[in-house]
Amino acid sequence: MILVTGGTGFLGSTLLQYLIEGGKSVVALKRETSTIPSHLKSSSLIQWVDADVTDYFALAEILPKVKQVYHCAAKVSYHPTDAQELFQTNVLGTRYLVNLCLRHGVRLLHVSSIAALGMSKRGKPVNESDLWEKHAKTSNYSLTKYEAEMEVWRGIAEGLDAVIVNPSLIMGVGWGEKGSRVIFDMVHRGNRIYPLGSVGVVDVEDVARIMIRLMNHPVKGERFVLNAENISNQALLTRISQLMNKPAPRIKATPVLMSIAWRMARLASLFSRKPPALTAETARAANRKLEYDNAKIKSTLAYAFKPLDQTLKEVYEAYYSRKTI
């Protein structure tokens, strides 16, 4: 039996689809308020369990019944007010799983993040050996994903059979997906501004397929960067603009403009009583130039990533091609 945490999320639901297509029986965790994806509701191979990863006793009931755990559940937020929830979900939940996997001899595949990777000190794309460092402006999300990964490394030192993946920005077509849609929606609304930074992007299908292959691979005690392509924010928005037949962005969002923008967003949130659409952390991240090296996973699995242009085309055709644009 296999356990998947975060089963209703973007990555988790994609992973579940591939697992049941392979005839695997799965226990999938979800919160009581979460909605089961329609295409997974009728599967007799999935046993849905309402339980949070921070509920140790619920996890303790499940772990003796499984042999493999895919830990996809995580809280993603760059709002300072979510710091405590980030720690509870990302760090404490991972700690519980690590301890229970150790106790019952269960193999763990932990979904970390590029946010838990360090910055390259050699002027080259970041790889698995670059060490993470905390700075005064390190986001709470990055901090908790790093600390969660440290829980896994602690478990590995104690004998845990585990492997870690560090995906970059996950895009693609799937249930509950937000990242791709947000970026496409910006272009659809006529956005003409682009941040100065760059990002790494990977398709959700690639991440799920690689996870399954790594779970059943003899490798253990290793981490793998999952990244298909490095691209500037301007180039990414331009490619999407071309797909949607919209003008390409032309206005640079300099650090000064981004600083003004997040302060205005915070002021607006005081009146709307909704979380600000832009925070100081997301503004800083948008202007960072980030590149990631995928050589290790490509060598280990002889894996060929889906081209970014194909991912963007699939998102466009799934959600936007029938819209008036």
pLDDT value at 47 more than 50: yes
**pLDDT of the residue at 275:** 64
Highest-pLDDT range among 6-10, 210-214, 231-235, 275-279: 210-214
> Higher pLDDT residue, 263 or 23?
23
- 70 token code pair: 């895919």
**pLDDT of the residue at 20:** 97
> Higher pLDDT residue, 322 or 4?
4
The strands making up 169-171's β-sheet, listed across from edge to edge, are: 169-171, 198-203, 229-232
pLDDT tens per residue across span 160-201: 999 999 999 999 998 766 667 778 887 888 878 778 888 999
Instruction: Using pLDDT thresholds of 50, 70 and 90, give the confidence band for residue 322.
Output: low
pLDDT tens per residue across span 119-173: 766 778 999 998 888 887 788 999 999 999 999 999 999 999 999 999 999 999 9
**pLDDT of the residue at 179:** 65
**pLDDT of the residue at 324:** 42
pLDDT value at 77 more than 60: yes
Q: Which residue has the tokens 């356990």?
A: 3
**pLDDT of the residue at 12:** 95
pTM for this prediction:
0.90
Question: To 10 degrees, the CA torsion angle through 171, 294, 17, 37?
Answer: -30
**pLDDT of the residue at 319:** 84
Instruction: Using pLDDT thresholds of 50, 70 and 90, give the confidence band for residue 263.
Output: low
**pLDDT of the residue at 262:** 43
pLDDT value at 17 more than 80: yes
The answer to whether residues 133 and 119 touch, using CB atoms and an 8 Å cutoff, is yes
Query: How far lies 216's CA from each of 163, 203, 209, in Å?
Result: 11, 21, 11
Query: How far lies 66's CA from each of 9, 176, 180, in Å?
Result: 21, 26, 33
pLDDT value at 265 more than 70: no
Nearest CA among 203, 210, 105, 108 for reference residue 149: 108
**pLDDT of the residue at 137:** 75
Query: How far lies 279's CA from each of 133, 210, 257, 259, 264, in Å?
Result: 21, 32, 13, 9, 10
**pLDDT of the residue at 97:** 98
The residue type found at 170 is I
